[in-house]
Structure 1
Amino acid sequence: MVVGEVIQERELIIVGGGPGGYNAAIRAAQLGVEVTLIEKGELGGICLSKGCIPSKLSAHTASKLSDYKHLQQIGIDTGEPSFNLDQHRKYMEQTVSALQKGVESLCKANKVEVINGTASFMTGSRIGVEIGDTFEMYKYEKVIIASGVSSSVPDVFKMDSESDRIFTAQTIYEIEEVPEHLLIYGTDYIALEAATSFRALGSSVTIIMDETDGYGFDADIEKELSRVLKKSKIKVMKNSVVDSVEANDEQVFIHLTKGEDEKLSVEGTHLLVSAGFTPNTKEIGIDALSIEIDESGFIVINEHSETSVKGVYAVGDVTFGPSLAVKAIKQGKVAAEHCAGRKSELNLRYIPTIVHTAPPIATVGLTEAVAVGEGFSVTTGQFSMSGNGYAGITGKKEGVVKVIKDSETNLLLGVHMIGHGAVEMITSGVTALEMAARDEDLMYGFFPHPSFNEGWLEALESLTGEAIHVTPGKQQKKSAAEPVGSRD
């Protein structure tokens, strides 16, 4: 290996070119900062190449396949559709490649220096970068860590030799065949998206849940989701502890204990393990920085995305909090702006969670149970999308919109949706919560007709028992605050 002779100085170095990293790089460059971005793989990171884009493309493909019966209903008959995985993978590769080139072009246009290499921190504000057979040393004024995460795999799923039938969140969309029977261990958004996507593509699907109490959504969203999964013939095994796993060339066997002592074995052709993530910190020599990390190894940051060491920032999945690209993007911009001297900050309280299931889920703010637990007396309004005119036209009648407000102040506390259009509509919920809106603020405006957005209006109006398309007995519901608790 050839070692560079001099230490090169840089104003701002960013380690990692995923959504957080490249957004930070471009924003900093826009503000006049000289930026060097180090990425060992492709720009866009895991999100673009293995996560967000491939998973959403699979969900989109599954949605199109599921539209077949509705097309027949409205008079369009082109014959029963079939799925070509090879063509699907080709389109996925083309889409990912085009987006990666787009990011490259944006970095170039903004004069961001991009180094394709493996970075490792050293003492004295220095970073070593292995670039092929060479090793260069850089000294920075400020640095942003955006090194991301790797899939966490519980020991029980680790085989003596890697099986080509066991996948993680970062490898499942590289699969080369449609599973005959896909077993899924996990309850996060990745597990749910894979479950509904592969079911639509023709796989039998079984979700294995441990002692986890549900999927982490509001109770009424969970109820509707469970109904949808059952209708889709996706089997859910709750309260199941995995004891051991076996795999051969054709099958995967999971031996588990259900409940207190019921021993069961489940057989499938493939297995997805979606059990969280481990931060990529050791690989980059983070110990040299002496920054604060939490008990799980994630980097602790403040409202400016700055770590416990001045001038050292961290953004994205490597930080504490949900592993979401939307978090990484916002953190990256805030970190870059703070590096450039702006007083930018962020708060994750109203970060939206979206799940591209069939139908999709989108939530922001407090669930009813959490709101009551925090000391609020709440009123909830709810609307079933089966009563929405546009949902009837499009055949997308599955779903529920639920709105939660403080009974005393009428301030909105949470918005929860499952149904077609939920991902796009949740932005209005985020804006409303950030602006401390009351229900009357949202009801005052016009909602286009017919549209999915009217589900919003009906849920809001049901807060006061005035929804037109909800029967009187199914409108507002009030929940008293718990005796102990406060809003602080």
Structure 2
Amino acid sequence: MVVGEISQERNLLIIGGGPGGYSAAIRGAQLGLSITLIEQADIGGVCLNEGCIPSKIVTHAAAKRTEITHLQELGIGIPENQFDFKKLLSYKDRVINQLRSGVESLCKENKIEMIRGKVTFLATDKIGVENGHQFDIYEFQQVIIATGSTAVMPPFLIEKGERILLPHELFAIEEVPDHLIVRGSDYIALEAASSFAALGAKVSVVIENKADFPFDESVNKELSRLFKKRKIKVHKELQFISTNETKDGITMTFLTDKNVEETICGSHLFVSGTRIPNLEPLGISRFGIDLTDEGFIKVDGNMQTSLPAIYAIGDVTEGPMLAIKAIKQGKAAVASIAGQQTEVDLTFMPVVAHTIPPAVSVGLTEQSAREYGLVVRASQFALGSNGYATLSGKKDGFIKVISDATTEIIQGIHMIGEGAIELSGSFVQLLEMAAREEDLKFPLYAHPGISEGFLEAVEGMVGQAIHAAPVKEKRQSIIFK
């Protein structure tokens, strides 16, 4: 190893080139800051290269495959059983390379210095960067830690074989599993179950204890119905006993809620895993930075740590381990360093799953709203009554709106159905603005369009949805006390 004799000076270092890190770098450059971005692997981090983008390419392909029957109804000739998984993998690699090159070009155009290497903190204002036989030392005025997290196997799986897959491994698999066992109910597990079932795998979902899907009860119920319709077997309220892997497959043994032993056999097992922050290799804990009991870096509203020159964003901080959190925090951190007022509020962070169809939850669920003591008004509009959903062959799902009946302020918006991902931004904006029912009814909605279903869900709160039959005995607008 060659050690640099002279320490080099930099203004702002960003450690980690994932979505949070490179967004912070570009925003910092836009604000006039001198930025150095350090990444030990590929720019874009796990999200672009192994996680978010690869997984969504697979879920996108799966969703398109479910449309073949409808395309045939439209007169478009597509053989239903013709599917080349290797072509999908080739497409995935091409898209990832294209996006990665785009990010690299943006960094260059914003005059961001890019360094490849592994970082170690030498002091609270100094790091070392190792790249092969080269070791350089940099002193900095400020640094942002954006090193993300790593998925590790849960404690019950001490030994991991080739047939037990973490997220980045499942979405890089080279052939569709014969029978995929999906353990868990988080959004990644739901996407894995939904997409691989559509791609031809037999899928079984196992959910331990009293856990359920992470959405409003109505959305959870609809997801269960759709999984059953697509022959995805869901096993709930199980107590794990053991896992056995052989060269031929996986066997999982559970105890049911009726105290009966149950065995599930498959070709592969998927687990979302436990994500741990990538901090230990940095050596930052040696300098007394404040950490939570779980090992995350504590930050204030400006993303500043207990060490004034050091900021942290994304998975190394508390809260949901999502790219949208990292991006928001990264922009806030550089804005604060540039002397601007900033704020990060994760109250209305959407829960999103790219299932078939996709599901979104923003704000309070109906149950949580009642638990808060609100007088709840809830209305649900089925997409099967929406003109565009019908003509496009995507009638599954609904839009549900929850408000405080006393103030008419919207408290939660939940959707499962085509367009949910795209509409989620509008849902978040409305809750951030503390919109009232009238604010949602006043605007004009494109016709025909899925968004009209949103309007009808709001109008249904007072029994005025145009495309919903009047309910005589049980009102569509329900008030809970």
Q: TM-score of the superposition, structure 1-length normalised?
A: 0.95
Partner amino acid for 1:294?
Answer: T
Within 1, Cα distance between the matches of 2:137 and 2:184?
42
Within 2, Cα distance between the matches of 1:463 and 1:310?
50
Look up the match of 2:393: 395
Choose which of 322, 325, 333 in structure 1 pairs with 2:323.
325
Look up the match of 1:89: 89
Q: Is the contact made by 1:206 and 1:236 (CA closer than 8 Å) also made in structure 2?
A: yes
Q: Is the contact made by 1:390 and 1:451 (CA closer than 8 Å) also made in structure 2?
A: yes
Q: Is the contact made by 2:124 and 2:309 (CA closer than 8 Å) also made in structure 1?
A: no
The 10-residue stretch of structure 1 (307-316 or 448-457) with the greater mean CA deviation from structure 2: 307-316
Look up the match of 1:60: 60
Find out whether 1:108 has 2:108 as its counterpart.
yes
The 10-residue stretch of structure 1 (170-179 or 92-101) with the greater mean CA deviation from structure 2: 170-179
Choose which of 188, 191, 196 in structure 1 pairs with 2:194.
196
Structure 1 residue ranges, 4+ long, deviating more than 6 angstroms after superposition: none
Find out whether 1:422 has 2:420 as its counterpart.
yes
Partner amino acid for 1:59?
Answer: T
Q: Is the contact made by 1:18 and 1:45 (CA closer than 8 Å) also made in structure 2?
A: yes
Q: Flag the 1:289–1:228 CA change in 2: closer, same or farther, 3 A.
A: farther
Look up the match of 1:43: 43
In the TM superposition, residue 220 of structure 1 has moved relative to its aligned partner by: 0.8
SS state at 1:239 partner:
strand
The 10-residue stretch of structure 1 (81-90 or 412-421) with the greater mean CA deviation from structure 2: 81-90
Q: Superposed, which structure 2 residues align to 1:422-441 within 5 Å?
A: 422-441=420-439
Q: Is the contact made by 1:257 and 1:263 (CA closer than 8 Å) also made in structure 2?
A: yes
Partner amino acid for 2:445?
Answer: F
Q: How many pairs are equivalent?
A: 478
Look up the match of 2:476: 475
Look up the match of 1:143: 143
Q: Is the contact made by 1:399 and 1:419 (CA closer than 8 Å) also made in structure 2?
A: yes
In the TM superposition, residue 261 of structure 1 has moved relative to its aligned partner by: 2.5
The 10-residue stretch of structure 1 (261-270 or 183-192) with the greater mean CA deviation from structure 2: 261-270
Q: Flag the 1:64–1:449 CA change in 2: closer, same or farther, 3 A.
A: same
SS state at 1:370 partner:
helix
Q: Is the contact made by 1:121 and 1:286 (CA closer than 8 Å) also made in structure 2?
A: yes
Q: Superposed, which structure 2 residues align to 1:328-367 within 5 Å?
A: 328-367=326-365
Within 2, Cα distance between the matches of 1:462 and 1:290?
56
Within 2, Cα distance between the matches of 1:140 and 1:257?
55
User: How big is the alpha-carbon RMSD for the aligned residues of Structure 1 and Structure 2?
Assistant: 1.3
In the TM superposition, residue 165 of structure 1 has moved relative to its aligned partner by: 1.2
Structure 1 segments unaligned to the other structure (5+ residues): 481-488
SS state at 2:153 partner:
coil
The 10-residue stretch of structure 1 (299-308 or 404-413) with the greater mean CA deviation from structure 2: 299-308
Q: Is the contact made by 1:185 and 1:275 (CA closer than 8 Å) also made in structure 2?
A: no
Look up the match of 1:19: 19
Q: Is the contact made by 1:122 and 1:288 (CA closer than 8 Å) also made in structure 2?
A: no
Q: Superposed, which structure 2 residues align to 1:264-279 within 5 Å?
A: 264-279=262-277
Deviations 1:373-426 (A, max 9, x none): 223211111111111111110110000111111111111111110000011111
In the TM superposition, residue 330 of structure 1 has moved relative to its aligned partner by: 0.9
Structure 2 segments unaligned to the other structure (5+ residues): none
Within 2, Cα distance between the matches of 1:293 and 1:187?
28
Deviations 1:184-236 (A, max 9, x none): 11111100001111000000001111114211211111111111111111111
SS state at 1:21 partner:
helix
The 10-residue stretch of structure 1 (266-275 or 470-479) with the greater mean CA deviation from structure 2: 470-479
Partner amino acid for 2:68?
Answer: Y
Q: Is the contact made by 1:9 and 1:140 (CA closer than 8 Å) also made in structure 2?
A: yes
Find out whether 1:180 has 2:181 as its counterpart.
no
Q: In percent, how many aligned pairs have the same letter?
A: 45
Partner amino acid for 2:263?
Answer: S
Look up the match of 2:260: 262
In the TM superposition, residue 466 of structure 1 has moved relative to its aligned partner by: 1.1
Within 2, Cα distance between the matches of 1:433 and 1:79?
44
Q: Is the contact made by 1:148 and 1:317 (CA closer than 8 Å) also made in structure 2?
A: yes
In the TM superposition, residue 77 of structure 1 has moved relative to its aligned partner by: 2.5
Within 2, Cα distance between the matches of 1:383 and 1:276?
36
In the TM superposition, residue 260 of structure 1 has moved relative to its aligned partner by: 5.4
SS state at 2:168 partner:
coil
Partner amino acid for 2:245?
Answer: A
Deviations 1:446-466 (A, max 9, x none): 111111011100111012221
Within 2, Cα distance between the matches of 1:124 and 1:468?
63
Q: Is the contact made by 1:299 and 1:307 (CA closer than 8 Å) also made in structure 2?
A: yes
Within 2, Cα distance between the matches of 1:459 and 1:244?
45
Within 2, Cα distance between the matches of 1:275 and 1:402?
31
The 10-residue stretch of structure 1 (256-265 or 61-70) with the greater mean CA deviation from structure 2: 256-265
SS state at 1:349 partner:
coil
Within 1, Cα distance between the matches of 2:90 and 2:29?
34
SS state at 2:129 partner:
strand
The 10-residue stretch of structure 1 (357-366 or 74-83) with the greater mean CA deviation from structure 2: 74-83
Q: Is the contact made by 2:370 and 2:376 (CA closer than 8 Å) also made in structure 1?
A: yes
Within 1, Cα distance between the matches of 2:262 and 2:269?
17
The 10-residue stretch of structure 1 (248-257 or 334-343) with the greater mean CA deviation from structure 2: 248-257
Partner amino acid for 2:22?
Answer: Y
Q: Flag the 1:139–1:113 CA change in 2: closer, same or farther, 3 A.
A: same
Within 2, Cα distance between the matches of 1:174 and 1:101?
20
Within 2, Cα distance between the matches of 1:94 and 1:465?
50
Partner amino acid for 1:319?
Answer: T
The 10-residue stretch of structure 1 (194-203 or 117-126) with the greater mean CA deviation from structure 2: 117-126
Within 2, Cα distance between the matches of 1:373 and 1:127?
49
Q: Superposed, which structure 2 residues align to 1:147-296 within 5 Å?
A: 147-159=147-159, 162-259=160-257, 261-296=259-294
SS state at 2:38 partner:
strand
In the TM superposition, residue 154 of structure 1 has moved relative to its aligned partner by: 1.4
In the TM superposition, residue 34 of structure 1 has moved relative to its aligned partner by: 1.0
Q: Is the contact made by 1:350 and 1:365 (CA closer than 8 Å) also made in structure 2?
A: yes
Within 1, Cα distance between the matches of 2:33 and 2:301?
21
Within 1, Cα distance between the matches of 2:446 and 2:252?
50
Look up the match of 1:485: none
Look up the match of 2:312: 314
SS state at 2:6 partner:
strand
Find out whether 1:74 has 2:74 as its counterpart.
yes
Q: Flag the 1:109–1:255 CA change in 2: closer, same or farther, 3 A.
A: same
Within 1, Cα distance between the matches of 2:287 and 2:430?
40
